[in-house]
Amino acid sequence: MNHTTKYSIEFRLQGNELDEESGYDLYYLSQNLHAFQQLIDKTYTTLKNDNNNKRENLRVKVHNIRSGSFLADIYIEVAMVMGSLLPIVTEVNAKTIWDTAKLSFEYLKAILNANRRGESLSTVVTESSNVNIVNANGDVIISVHPDVIRVANQNYPTFKKIASLINEKGEEFTKATFKPVNSEIENAIEIGVEEKVLLQNKSIIEEEPIRFKGKIFKADAEKLNGKMKVYGNSSIIEDGEYNFEFLDKSKIIMKDYFDVECEFLALKQTEFKPDTLNKYIKQLKIISVEKL
């Protein structure tokens, strides 16, 4: 049997373009409201294990709009499903939807911060069925239920979208804060400039160069970039096709190395993937090349 549950979230947007005196910039307001709706939708459908993304029992409504920076209460209303298939909760109700969304944000911050510190991450399942995210030293970065990880993987693009709207230099839109009504800031999902930098998850160029064999098979002679096949270097870099770019463009004539087996010295430009906890090579920055 179902019955409706409700949970109230204080929704606050801060910035010079989001106050009563200057008016509320419709772009920032609409984008953030849409992102919040997506956040709740994705959490709800993931918790229900609903691959069809059905949300007929869920409503997200704005109430009590107040002056100052854009400030309102948003009610999450859901027809509670008794006997959820998921072990993380015994029922999918409005509060568990919010709590899981908040946990997914904390999980993403923990793994992205660990990656920024240069730590390699892996998972260990505990006796309690939680998943520990550990670094190479075995230190536990965070421990969560597997369903929090599933929700985090679904919500990451939405958090990243909100972060992309934040102005790092200007003051138009500086912070979004979502927290249960009458709760402390520690219970909030808060996205400002610091979180923007973290959630952007920009690729990095690693300092240690690698030496490997390969062959260029697609190239732009003017930009000195393209695609190459790497092989026979399993201990250094996985065999496969990679994007590349020559760092010193003044000394290279592309046709001299096109479709010829060569030995390359390069730096890896890597990007961290939160859904796998792995880094992948986005591009190889070629320092030098010699024909074999």
pLDDT tens for 151-188 read 999 999 999 999 999 988 878 999 999 999 999 888 89
pLDDT tier, 235 (very low <50, low <70, confident <90, very high otherwise)? confident
Helix (H), strand (E) at residue 35: helix 26-47
Is residue 275's pLDDT more than 50? yes
Question: How far from chain centre, in Å, is Cα 193?
Answer: 15
Q: Name which of 184, 178, 248, 259 is nearest 216 in CA terms.
A: 259
- The angle at the Cα of 24, spanning 22 to 27, to the nearest 5 degrees, equals 130
Q: Is 91 exposed, middle or buried (0-12, 13-18, 19+ CB in 10 A)?
A: middle
pLDDT at res. 53? 61
The CATH architecture to which 204-291 belongs is Beta Barrel (2.40)
Q: What is the pTM of this model?
A: 0.86
Joined together, the tokens standing for residue 97 give 């939807």
**Strand partners for 62:** 74
pLDDT at res. 81? 57
Instruction: Please write the tens of the pLDDT for every residue from 90-126.
Output: 578 899 999 999 999 999 999 999 999 989 999 999 9
pLDDT at res. 79? 80
Is residue 1's pLDDT more than 50? no
Buried b (16+ CB within 10 A) or exposed e, 196-231: bebbebeebeeeeebebbbbbeebeeeebbbebebe
Cα–Cα dist 175/195, whole Å: 9
pLDDT at res. 92? 85
Cα–Cα dist 221/258, whole Å: 10
Cβ distance 12 to 185 under 8 Å?
no
Is residue 85's pLDDT more than 60? no
Instruction: Please write the tens of the pLDDT for every residue from 214-232.
Output: 999 999 999 999 999 999 8
Helices (H), 51-133: 94-116
**Strand partners for 265:** 211, 288
Q: In this structure, what is the dihedral angle of CA atoms 137, 211, 279, 190, given to the nearest 10 degrees?
A: 90
Q: Name which of 124, 111, 180 is nearest 152 in CA terms.
A: 111
pLDDT at res. 49? 81
pLDDT at res. 39? 97
pLDDT tier, 133 (very low <50, low <70, confident <90, very high otherwise)? very high
| Highest mean pLDDT of the ranges 58-62, 80-84, 205-209, 265-269 | 265-269
Instruction: Please write the tens of the pLDDT for every residue from 236-254.
Output: 899 999 999 999 988 889 9
SS in 3 state form for 127-162?
A: CCCCEEEEECCCCEEEEECHHHHHHHHHHHHHHHHH
Average pLDDT over residues 121-133: 92
The fraction of the chain above a pLDDT of 90, given in percent, is 72
pLDDT at res. 54? 67
pLDDT tier, 83 (very low <50, low <70, confident <90, very high otherwise)? very low
